Amino acid sequence: MNPKHSRSLIALSTTALALPGIANADAPPTQNKVSYKISNYTEDDLSRREAPFGDLDRYDIDVHQFQLISPVGRNFSLQVDANYESLTGASPWFTSTGLDGEPIVSLSGASGIRDKRSELSVGTRYYLINGSIGGNIGYSEEDDYRATYFGLSGERHFNDEMTTVSLGFSYSSDDIFPTDAELFNRVVSEDKSSTSAVLSISQVINQVSTFQVALSLTEQSGFLSDPYKLRDVRPQDKTQIALTNSYRRFFVAADASLHVNYRFYHDDFGISSQTFDVAWFQNLSNSLQLVPTVRYYSQSAADFFTNVDDFLKPLSEYQSSDYRLAAFGAYSGGLSLIADLGAWTAVLTAERYVANEAYSAYAVSQPSTALVRYNRISLGFDYSF
C-alpha cells in the first residue's frame, strides 16, 4: 500500500487498532472445556534372576485426570485440575549381591505398597494487550507425602506476535512422613522445598515452522533421599538446569506436522541427560489424526550411585541404589489416535518404554538391576461447550 497515507487514514487506523478484538491482546478461551483422562501405567515385573527373593510385582498405577477451563468475563480464565492416582505394587527396597557376585534387588514388603494420591490445583490467567499473566496454587496428598505449591507466569508477544517470551516461577513445599517409620527404623518426618524458574522464547520462523527454546533452573533443598530404602543417603541440596529446544514444521502436501524436541539436563548430583523425541501428526480425514512418537533418553549416573548397597559405609557418606540415579538409556514408542466428534474429542494413546544400560550413551560402570520397562495406555475425552 502507498506509504503516503492521508491524515484521515492515520486517524481511523489509530482508533481501530485500539479496539479490543484487534489490538494485540491475548484472549481468554471463548468456550468452557471439560477434560477427563484415565491412564494405566504398568511396570513389567522383575524376573527371578533380578530378584531371587520376595515380590516380583512392580508398580501398577491408575491415574484419573480431570480438568475444567472456563472463561470468566472478558479478560480472565479459570482452570481447575483434579487428579487421583491409585498405586499398587512394590519399589526396590535394597540391593545386594547374589551368589555369583551379581547385584540383585529386593522389593519392598511382601504385600507390596498400596497408596493413593489426590491433587487439586486452581489457576487463573489475565489476558492483556500483548500477553497474559497467570498464577496457580495446588495441593497434593498421599498417605506419606504432602505437597503445597504455587506458580506465577507471564507471557508477552513481540514483533506482531512472531516472538513470544515467557517467564515462570514456581515454589513447592513438601512434607514426607513414611508409613511404618518406627517398624522399619525409617525417618519419621522430613521436608523439602523446590524453587524453579523458567525462561522460554518461541519464534515463528515462517508460515509453516516455529522454534522454541526454554531454559529452566530448579533448586531443591531438604530431605532428597528415599525414606523407604534401607540405605539411601543423598545431599541436602540439588541444583538442576535444563535446556529444551522444540521445532515444529507443517508439511502441506503430506497434511501432517512434525514435532522434534531435544532436551539437555544437568544436576549437581552428577547426572547429565539428553532426550530426543520425534512425533508425526498425520491427518487422516476431517476427524481423525494418527500420531506415532519415538523417544530416546539417556543419562549418566549420579556420583554416589551404587548398584549394591554398602551397609558398612558410614551414614555420613552419600550412596543410593535408586535405579533413577544409574546410567542407562531408554527407548519408547507410542501411538495416539485422535478423533474429533463435534464438541467432543477423544484421544487414545498406547506407549511402550524400555530402559536398559546397554542403550546408554554415557559410560556405565555399575549397571542397575532395577531399570523399568512399562506400558502406558490412556483414554481421554474433551468436551467444549
Partner 1 sequence: MNPSLKRFSINAMGGYCEFQIFDESRINAKRIVRQLTTEVRRLEQKYSRYRSNSLVTAINYSAGDKLGIKIDSETRSLFDHALTCFEQSNGLFDITAGALSRIWDFRTAQVPAQAQIDALLPRIGFNRLSWRNSRLLMPAGMEIDFGGIVKEYAADAVAKLGRRLGVNHGLVNLGGDFAVIGAQPDNQPWTVGVADPKQRDRLMAKIDLLYGGLASSGDYERCFIHKGKRYSHIVNPKTGWPCDGLRAVSVAANLCTVAGSMATIAMLKDEQAALGWLQESGLPFAAMTGEERITGEGLNEQQPESSL
Residues that bind partner 1 (CB under 8 A): 1-9, 11-22, 26-27, 30-31, 74, 161, 207-208, 250, 252, 255, 257, 281, 283, 285-289, 338, 340, 342-343, 345, 384
Nearer to partner 1, 4 or 316 (CB): 4
Q: Are 94 and 106 in contact (CB under 8 A)?
A: yes
Q: How far is the CB of 21 from partner 1 (least distance, A)?
A: 3
Alpha helix (H) ranges present in 24-140? none
Question: CB neighbours of 214 closer than 8 A, spacing ≥ 6?
Answer: 198, 199, 200, 201, 242, 243, 244, 246
By C-beta, is 21 or 314 nearer to partner 1? 21
CB atoms within 10 A of CB 232: 19
Q: CB-wise, 36 or 250, nearer to partner 1?
A: 250
Nearer to partner 1, 26 or 309 (CB): 26
Cβ closest to partner 1, residue 286 vs residue 316 = 286
**Cβ(43)–Cβ(59) below 8 Å:** yes
Tell me the C-alpha distance between 82 and 26, whole Å.
26
Whether 96 and 50 have beta carbons less than 8 Å apart is answered as: no
CB of 9 to partner 1, least distance (A): 5
Q: How far is the CB of 23 from partner 1 (least distance, A)?
A: 8
Q: Between residues 89 and 134, which has the closer beta carbon with respect to partner 1?
A: 134
**Grid-cell match 546410567, residue found:** 327
Q: Residue 65 Cβ, how far from partner 1 at the closest point, in Å?
A: 21
The answer to whether 7 touches 345, Cβ cutoff 8 Å, is: no
Q: How far is the CB of 352 from partner 1 (least distance, A)?
A: 25
Closest to partner 1 by CB, 111 vs 207, is 207
- Closest by CA position to 214, among listed 247, 172, 256, 238: 247
Neighbours of 314 (CB within 10 A): 7
Shortest approach of partner 1 to residue 376 CB, angstroms? 23
Report DSSP state, residue 47: P
Which letter, b or e, does each residue of 190-204 get, where b requires 16 or more Cβ atoms within 10 Å of its Cβ?
Answer: bebebebebebebeb
The owner of cell 486452581 is: 122
State the nearest-atom distance from the C-beta of 16 to partner 1, in Å.
4
CB 72, min distance to partner 1, A: 15
Smaller CB separation from partner 1, 14 or 316: 14
